[in-house]
Amino acid sequence: MSEKAWNTKLNNDVTVPSFGLGTWLSEPGKVGAAVDVAIRYGYRHVDCAHIYGNEAEVGVALQNLFKEGIVKREDLFITSKLWNTEHSQADVIPALQVTLKNLQLDYVDLYLIHWPQDLPRGVTFAEMKDEHYLGYSEEKIADTWKGMEDAVAKGLTKSIGISNFTIKKIENLLKAAKIVPAVNQIESHPYLQQSKLKEYMDSKGITFEAYSPLGTPGRVAKGENEPYLMDDPVVKEIADKRKCTTAQILISFALHRGVIVIPKSVTPERIKSNYDAQKITLDDDEMKKLYSLEQNFRYLRFFMMKTGQTEADFWDADYDEKVVIDAPDSKRQKS
Ligand SMILES: NC(=O)c1ccc[n+]([C@@H]2O[C@H](COP(=O)([O-])OP(=O)(O)OC[C@H]3O[C@@H](n4cnc5c(N)ncnc54)[C@H](OP(=O)(O)O)[C@@H]3O)[C@@H](O)[C@H]2O)c1
């Protein structure tokens, strides 16, 4: 058992706490308290997004912690994400300024393009119709990336990255990018390890960040007969043997893969026990068992597409399957 926190070094030499707090579906009225409990307990990394609709409350919680002297701004790693309605060079800085105002910060540590999928400006989820799903445009993403690079130059974010990008879409972006994305944030857990994508990203120096590491059980729109990851018998067996929770094993699995992991909770005991997963050292046999659970099962179903489009199209399934890369060792490190 190690008492130390896990860290990851990004391709621009910025160090990120490999474990952070997710805030998607953390309801207004609860998210501030969750951030407060987390940071007092030792969390130094919070994952936010404009579309989560709760950044202002996160901002109030952060200000209180700064005023009380619990942490300083520079002790924290705060991520936010650009929403799909703001995909042009000119849109990025104004959108980031809204996020900074809500979070009451001068800069974020990491700003991500949330999805490689365009939506018309001003259209909300409730209003979305078939004609609003503009799809993926290599040109628009390349133009948006210029705005992300402008945000770095202006000091509004320390690092920039992407989220939900496939190998094909990263290849397209790299043709135009002056700054290589520091991170790609994607769904990952034992049922969806995304090993090929990880190998590809390792070969390009792009850090893999795992969202929904616990199988995202809090969503309303769940698939029928969806497996409950935290009840998986193999995960349970390892947790029982170690007298810890299955959530802790899933978090530890990600850390041992050299992946950044950002489980969400608004429940104080879970926030704390999830953090303590960093103390677990899994052995090779346990890791082998967890790796054997791969079933290419995605919890977060992609829905922002026109009639006739498929998820396989969105995830570039055919193309990504064909890519084979020799990956260097992962950049995982413990400090
Ligand atoms: N870039 C993207 O497109 C994207 C997509 C999805 C997620 N994300 C990010 O990744 C974060 C994590 O993913 P997620 O929120 O989808 O799912 P998750 O972290 O896999 O699961 C969160 C759910 O698990 C519950 N939970 C947390 N700890 C638990 C424990 N120890 N025991 C039992 N249940 C526990 C939470 O409940 P309570 O809160 O009620 O405790 C919540 O319902 C998000 O919050 C967000 O920041 C990004």
Please state, as a whole number, how many other Cβ atoms lie within 10 Å of the Cβ of residue 334. Answer: 12
Q: How far apart are CA 299 and CA 225, in angstroms?
A: 11
Query: Does the pLDDT value for residue 325 go beyond 70?
Result: no
Are 133 and 311 a contacting pair, CB within 8 Å? no
DSSP label at residue 191: T
Query: If DSSP codes are grouped into helix, strand and coil, which group holds residue 71?
Result: coil
pLDDT value at position 125?
A: 77
Question: Cα angle vertex 120, ends 118, 122, to 5°?
Answer: 125
Look up 52 and say whether it is catalytic.
Answer: yes
pLDDT value at position 4?
A: 65
Query: Does the pLDDT value for residue 224 go beyond 90?
Result: no
Q: How confident is the model at residue 220 (pLDDT cuts 50, 70, 90)?
A: confident
| Helices vs. strands in the chain: H and E counts, helices first | 12, 11
Among 133-142, 216-225, 312-321, the range scoring the smallest mean pLDDT is 216-225
Average pLDDT over residues 116-143: 88
Place of tokens 């890519």: 323
| Best of 191, 261, 264 for a ligand 1 pocket test (most atoms within 8 Å of beta carbon) | 264
Question: Cα angle vertex 212, ends 211, 218, to 5°?
Answer: 145
Q: How far, in Å, is the centroid of ligand 1 from the Cα of 150? A: 31
How far, rounded to the nearest angstrom, does the alpha carbon of residue 62 sit from its chain's CA centroid?
Answer: 20
Q: How far apart are CA 78 and CA 73, in angstroms?
A: 9
Average pLDDT over residues 193-221: 94
pLDDT digits (tens, 9 = 90+) for 9-32: 999 999 999 999 999 999 989 999
Residue 72 tokens, joined: 């300083």
CATH 3.40.50.280 fits 3-334, yes or no: no
Q: How far, in Å, is the centroid of ligand 1 from the Cα of 303? A: 19
Show the DSSP H helices in 138-267 as ranges.
Answer: 138-153, 167-176, 195-204, 233-242, 246-256
Question: Cα angle vertex 201, ends 195, 204, to 5°?
Answer: 150
- What's the mean per-residue pLDDT of the chain? 92
Query: If DSSP codes are grouped into helix, strand and coil, which group holds residue 4?
Result: coil
Q: How far apart are CA 78 and CA 275, in angstroms?
A: 17
Rounded alpha-carbon distances, angstroms, from residue 66 to 17, 26, 58, 189, 318:
19, 21, 12, 33, 48
| Best of 214, 298, 301 for a ligand 1 pocket test (most atoms within 8 Å of beta carbon) | 214
Query: Does the pLDDT value for residue 331 go beyond 60?
Result: no
Average pLDDT over residues 286-306: 91
Determine the residue type at 167: I
Among 63-67, 158-162, 253-257, 294-298, the range scoring the smallest mean pLDDT is 294-298
Q: Which of 43, 52, 211, 275 is catalytic?
A: 52
Query: Does the pLDDT value for residue 332 go beyond 80?
Result: no
Determine the residue type at 50: H
Q: How far, in Å, is the centroid of ligand 1 from the Cα of 102? A: 22
